[in-house]
Structure 1
Amino acid sequence: MKRPYYLFSSGRLRRQHNTLSLERATSERQPDDASDDNGLPSVEADGPRMPFPVEAVESLYLFGEIDINTKLVSFLGQQGIPTFFYDYYGNYTATLFPRESQLSGRLRVDQARHYLSARRRLVLARGFVEAALFNIERVIKYYQSRLSGEAQVAVQATLLDLRRDRDALPLTVDIPTLMAVEGRIRDRYYRLWPNFLGPEVSARFPFNKRERRPPSNELNALISFGNSLCYSTVLRQIYRTALDPTIAYLHEPGDRRFSLALDIAEVFKPLLVDRMIFRLLKTAELQPRHFEKHLGGCYLNEAGRKIVVKDWDDRLSQTVQHRTLNKKVSYERLIRHECYKLIRHLCDPTGDLYQGFHMWW
């Protein structure tokens, strides 16, 4: 059974015969933005080797400082293994994709046609936003029954705003308006988080508003890292289909990013990222010691990232009884099904209208 491999150690990753081997470094990695950085490795691969079978690797996530060469790149390409790179602070930076194996010229033309048509693009963008708002509402309702007093009043007000905006989505006439609706609801939603987490957790992890680039505190750092995991997971599933990840509908296609992964990730962040964060904080698996401050920002340290990644990997393998497929499906597989739903819409927009994933539990 193939699965993702998450490598936190620094060193050199190489092909060893017909498998993979990580030659670990024993010294401590230096920050990527150190003032004396000369572009050379900051660690030596002088530690023990850790071989692992390539047949078991579905994808690679490199969180350490890893040296690679063209032989390894060619080998990963032959095996169809995408590799995701993260910097010293846990920020997603790049993806090494093998040569595309799932190709469909017709689908790519259909993707571009739906983007170029303002009406067709708006239909898909509404679908992503509607599903995201629905799933945010499910998360809010999950915690609503446990609240009282002013917290309950704040939740009720946010739910009223959310339902009003969801009902008004068919009246939106452009993408910026949709983005504004989604952003406004997320801001209201994030303001409820201290109520969901409770006074004890909120005292350890104060949170007033969402702040990025850089994250200003521990909770913002956790949201940013979780969102980057969600983005790369969605991208991995898109790669297994014939979809072009650069052609998107809600987020504007641009240079150096896979905008379609951002579209689909909006749908799944409430289920995968937000619920993971609540669990890790409420069970005290994550503590303030798992974060560090640097250059005006706050980031998860290596120990903290390991905790989050383990929970993330476990979460993706959780299953739920699918209502239409009538079988158990993993959370990760739900993302692949979302890609297939999008493909069916692109090929037949009148007969198979896209409706984003709605949580039913």
Structure 2
Amino acid sequence: MRKRIYLYSNGELIRKDNNLCFKTKESINYLPIHQIETINAFSHINLNKNTIILLHRNNIIINFFDYHGNYSGSYYPYIPIQGKYIEKQVLFLNQNQNRLFLAKELVTTAMVNMLSVIKYYIKKKRNLKEQQLKLENMLYAFRNSDVDSVEEIMLYEAKFKGVYYSCFSNIVFYDYFKFTKRSIRPPKDPINALMSYGYTQLYTLISNIIHRSRLHISLPIIHGNVRSPEGLQYDIADIFKPIIIDRLIFRLINKKQIQAEDFDIKEDKVYLNRLGINVFINNFEELLYKTIYINEMKRKLSYRNIISREVHKISNHIFNNQKYKGFRSKW
């Protein structure tokens, strides 16, 4: 499997002997072209036409982020989606019952995975039995509801997330990381800073996968285009945020791999600094390539491949009438 490369220094990305070379004031690093899937750039990067041609020929994406890890944009090699797939995706979304079925399955899967995280930490002796019962009742009510709009589904989802988030302070050990509520722009405490950074990395990963599929990212199932012109990545990310990003955050905090010195605090804004980013990214990449056994396939898959498979399953549901069932974590 090809790698995701992270660039944190200002420099120039140049083509050299049909390979990539990242040149900074201090050093020159050679990047074997056939080993790269994606480049994530967190500083100022210069590149020219010859570099772009090489990236295009090797189907390499570049994602750009600002200093604090906020997503700024991407370069995608031109891979046109056939018109018949766009037409079919639009027709699918305009058929209300089809859209509601898929939306409900996506949200049900996300709820199951949030509940799975809570159950895991109950096994670790956290006092979360009351919240577990409440979440189980909410999940039961949602599964047996006759929803007639995506907005109604989102209301169920929002209430479920509210209870789920209320568990966070009982999961982490240290007072510095106490969590009260979700704050986004800007993050107002260290856990929110970790969530915002981690979720952005997950959104970007899923966006990259969607752009290599038959699906059009600007045609979401649930969340509409309220955050950006693209929206499908948010629908899919909700499945994996609890079991990949949230679990990773709790582990980094409880094992003291992330501490107070890994954050920049300016007035009411809290962001990961470069030390914290390095710790998070190293552990995030390690987790993506961790493998777990998938019963239905009778073999192991990495979390990275599970995410790709989920995009493929949604694509097959829309284009090939293969009924979608979301990935449910079993701990």
Query: Shared fold (TM-score greater than 0.5)?
Result: yes
TM-score, with length taken from structure 1: 0.87
Query: For residues 283-325 of structure 1, what are the alpha-carbon distances to aligned partners after superposition, in whole Å with 9 as ceiling and x for unaligned?
Result: 1000111000236311001111111111111011011111111
- Aligned residue in 2 for 1:312: 284
Q: 2:149 aligns with which of 174, 182, 194?
A: 174
How is 1:104-253 mapped onto 2 (pairs within 5 angstroms)?
104-147=82-125, 151-168=127-144, 170-198=145-173, 201=174, 203-253=175-225
Indicate whether 1:50 and 2:29 are aligned: yes
Flag structure 2 segments of 5+ consecutive residues without an equivalent. none
Runs of 4+ deviating beyond 4 Å: none
For residues 96 and 165 of structure 1, the distance between their equivalents in structure 2, rounded to whole angstroms, comes to 43
Partner of 2:11: 11
Equivalent residue, structure 2, for 1:27: none
Aligned residues: 331
Select which of 250, 261, 282 maps to 1:289. 261
Instruction: Compute the displacement of 1:118 (Å).
Output: 2.1
1:257 is displaced (CA, Å) by 3.5
Which amino acid is 1:274 matched to? D
**Which residues of structure 1 form unaligned runs of 5+?**
25-45
Aligned mates of 2:302, 2:35 — CA distance in 1: 18
* Matched residue, 2:47: 68
1:251-270 aligned within 5 A: 251-253=223-225, 256-270=228-242
Q: Is the 8 A contact 1:125 1:175 kept in 2?
A: yes
| CA deviations over 1:40-66 (Å, ceiling 9, x no partner) | xxxxxx322112211111111111222
Cα offset, 1:236, TM superposition: 1.9
User: What is the match of residue 32 of structure 1?
Assistant: none
Structure 1 SS opposite 2:55: helix
Please, what is the CA RMSD of the aligned residues?
Answer: 1.8
| 1:246–1:254 CA contact under 8 A, matched in 2 | no
Residue in 1 that maps onto 2:71: 92
TM-score by length of structure 2 reads 0.94
Whole-Å separation in 1 of the counterparts to 2:14 and 2:267: 33
Structure 1 range deviating more: 170-179 or 154-163 = 154-163
Kept after mapping to 2: 8 A contact 1:280/1:286: yes
> Percent identical across equivalent pairs?
28
- Equivalent residues of 1:212, 1:220 under 8 A apart: yes
Work out whether residues 165 and 181 of structure 1, in 8 Å CA contact, stay in contact via their aligned partners in 2. Answer: no
Matched-pair contact (CA < 8 Å) for 2:119–2:132: no
Alpha-carbon separation, structure 1, partners of 2:259 and 2:141:
36
Partner of 1:40: none
- The one-letter code of the counterpart of 1:22 is F
